[in-house]
Amino acid sequence: RARLAHAGPFTFIEGDIRDRALVARVFEGHRFDAVAHLAAMAFLTDWVVYARLPPHVVRGAALLSGVYDLVPFADFELGHMAGITAANAPGLSPLRLRRPLNLSVALGVGDGEPPKFRLQTALFAQHLRALGAQIETISGRGHDHYSIIGEFGRDGALARALLKMTQ
């Protein structure tokens, strides 16, 4: 069973990640792209102020191969297609948002990723540490943007980091 809260452009879905039917409905009902970016925006949003949700509604996160600063993409075709402009890119960039954090974040990036992905992950880790988050950076040996997700389904470093957060 899921509880929904709508706040501006976001739909916050509270439910049990182990509920396969719920997860399937969420993925079927929404078109996802830039998931790590959206997850970062979610935990950097002050949900108490923004949607009157209880404090600590987000207790941890595991992000894979993300783009956390959209400013460099504002002048590219993909940025234009996504509605990213020089004016709105800073506010849409988790790397530029600031609020105190008290949560654990696992950041996974494949060593086969382009250098700019690896740099954005490193910069985002530094940023989150400065905000108070506990960070674990995990390098996916032999993985790229598309293959690293398999680390969640195995007894890999990302799966172990995620399980550690739930204890």
pLDDT of residue 30: 64
Residues 70-125: pLDDT tens digits?
Answer: 898 877 776 777 778 889 889 989 999 999 998 899 998 988 988 988 999 999 99
| Statement: residue 54 has pLDDT above 70 | yes
Mean pLDDT over the full length of the chain:
80
pLDDT of residue 5: 54
Q: Confidence class of residue 17 from pLDDT cuts 50, 70 and 90? A: low
pLDDT, tens digit, 9 for 90 and up, residues 120-166? 999 999 999 999 999 999 888 888 877 777 666 666 777 788 778 77
Burial (CB < 10 A; 0-12, 13-18, 19+), residue 79, is: middle
pLDDT score of 39 more than 90: no
- What confidence tier does 6 reach under pLDDT thresholds 50, 70, 90? low
